[in-house]
Amino acid sequence: MSLRQVWADDGTAIGLWIQLPSPITAEIAGRQPVAYVCVDTQHGVNDPMSSVDLFTAIELAGNVPIARVPWNEPGVIGKALDAGAHGVIVPMVNTRTQADAAVEAARYAPAGSRSWGPMIAGLRRPDYQRWAHDHVTVIPMIETVQALANLDEILECPGIDAVYVGPADLSISLGLPPGNNDGEPAFDDALARIVDACERHEVVAGIHATGALARRRREQGFRMITVGSDALAVRSGLEREVAAATDGDAAEPTSMY
């Protein structure tokens, strides 16, 4: 089921995050009962070649592959979609102009100016142009005080499906340590403002979280919630087993990094 269909049915899309260039972990993630698996090409150690393998593994596992692209640049966005991503999360979108640019890069004419050449994406879909129009999602990230100030203008941009909060960068921009700073008034207020604005503009609110935070985020009104990453799963799993063997303590993750 596409992300658009999940949201059209008033559902909440729970997802996972891939930072490591391993098709095996991507397939494991893709076989979980989640709505999407995002390949991180901004902070993850993934390049265009490894991304092709990851998108393919996720889709063949029966899931929806999307990508967080490194930057809001037409060639980068087009390449991720051509490689098989069903949508893009675009970092550091701070203005309406930048939101417009992300949509322009991801949509074919007349909705945008994406160049034709779905080298991998078109292999399984002879009608890829029509499919892309119906399925490709564009998701700007809201992660600075500048974006908060321009939130209504960003949400008025035609062609965006959701916005996605990066808690670490948003916290830094608010003068807080990176991470989920629940209980800090500035952080809590920012999340409430984002959800309220999204509801007014009928745009889905998404966010980086953890499994433990997912219920709270859902109650706050977020309908796209990423709850874990492959790198974090490996690290926390190993720490937990070593702690059990050595009578130590393994800290519960408070963010996805």
Average pLDDT over residues 123-143: 97
d(CA 85, CA 65): 5
Q: What is the pLDDT at residue 62? A: 98
Name the one residue in this structure whose structure tokens are 């909060």: 165
Q: Is the pLDDT of residue 255 over 90?
A: no
64 Cβ partners below 8 Å, 6+ apart?
A: 1, 2, 3, 35, 36, 37, 58, 86, 87
d(CA 189, CA 82): 38
3-state helix, strand, coil in the chain (%, to 5): 45, 15, 40
Q: What is the pLDDT at residue 248? A: 78
Question: Which entry of 43, 86, 135, 208 is annotated as an active-site residue?
Answer: 43
Name the one residue in this structure whose structure tokens are 């930057």: 71
Instruction: Give the phi and the psi of residue 137 in degrees, each rounded to 5.
Output: -105, 145
Q: What is the pLDDT at residue 256? A: 63
User: DSSP secondary structure string, 128-179?
Assistant: HHHHHHHH-EEEEEE-SHHHHHTHHHHHT-TT--EEEE-HHHHHHHTTS-SS
Q: What is the mean pLDDT of the chain?
A: 96
Average pLDDT over residues 222-230: 98
**What is the tens place of the pLDDT at every residue in 6-52?**
999 999 999 999 999 999 999 999 999 999 999 999 999 999 999 99
Using 50, 70 and 90 to split pLDDT, how confident is the model at 250?
confident
**What is the tens place of the pLDDT at every residue in 88-124?**
999 999 999 999 999 999 999 999 999 999 999 999 8
d(CA 198, CA 206): 10
Q: Is the pLDDT of residue 240 over 70?
A: yes
208 has catalytic annotation:
no
Respond yes or no on whether the N-terminal peptide bond of residue 140 is cis (omega within 30° of 0): no
Q: What is the pLDDT at residue 257? A: 64
| Domains along the sequence of the chain with CATH | 3-246 (3.20.20.60)
**What is the tens place of the pLDDT at every residue in 146-198?**
999 999 999 999 999 999 999 999 999 999 999 999 999 999 999 999 999 99
State both tokens at 238: 């190993």
